[in-house]
Chain A
């Protein structure tokens, strides 16, 4: 089965510019997640969708970050304007719906963002 697809793989932008990342989850996975992984740290959840509704965005810096999942399939994460501290790997993951357990929790290869 195809995995979680993310693009671009790498992105370098200047501070104050905007950037967008795209994610296509595994077919049939209703739940989609965006994680931010800063160098030397574990991933941190930014936002979780179930179908096209937001389940958890408590750690999303809403003044500059936005995300959408139109039609409940693929998703985009946007940063505007970017700051130096946004340099990180942005990981998308998807899973089947379930209260707990693995449920096919699968990560994409990530987008490595460098803000200069």
Chain B
């Protein structure tokens, strides 16, 4: 069974600064996928970025990048040039075992300040 750990319950960042949200995972499967989702106060889960375990390069999507360190089993999300609208809960999730089921961490609440 896989486990996702997000050790930062809350983070603050100033507008226009970069911020890193930590995520470590524990799986014995050689093939897996890692996701980051944003959940604003309205409740919907918004997909941000995906990294496959065999991908050679770190994933990037606009201001989001995933710092994938396979040996350390970490998949940190980097948000560059933070905006007020980035204030939300952020979840890391893993997909293993050849299925589509996602296992989520407990989330990090990000607050962007002026």
Contact = CB atoms under 8 A, between A and B. Distances in A.
A55 B95 CA distance: 15
B41 to A, nearest CB: 12
B45 interface: yes
B33 A42 contact: no
Q: How large, as a class, is the contact surface on chain B?
A: 20 to 34
Nearest to A45: B101
A114 B52 CA distance: 37
B85 interface: no
Contact of A45 (B52, B98, B102): B102
Contacts of B4: 42
Which among A31, A44, A48, A107 has the greatest number of chain B C-beta atoms within 10 A? A107
Which among B4, B32, B45, B52 has the greatest number of chain A C-beta atoms within 10 A? B45
Interface in B61-114: 91, 93, 95, 98-107
A109 B50 CA distance: 21
Interface in A89-103: 89, 91, 93, 95, 98-103
A107 B99 contact: no
A108 B105 CA distance: 19
Given A40-B106, A41-B106, A42-B105, A102 B47 contact: yes
Contacts of B47: 102, 105-107
B100 A109 contact: no
B43 A56 contact: no
Interface of A: 31, 33, 40-45, 48, 55-56, 89, 91, 93, 95, 98-103, 105-110, 112
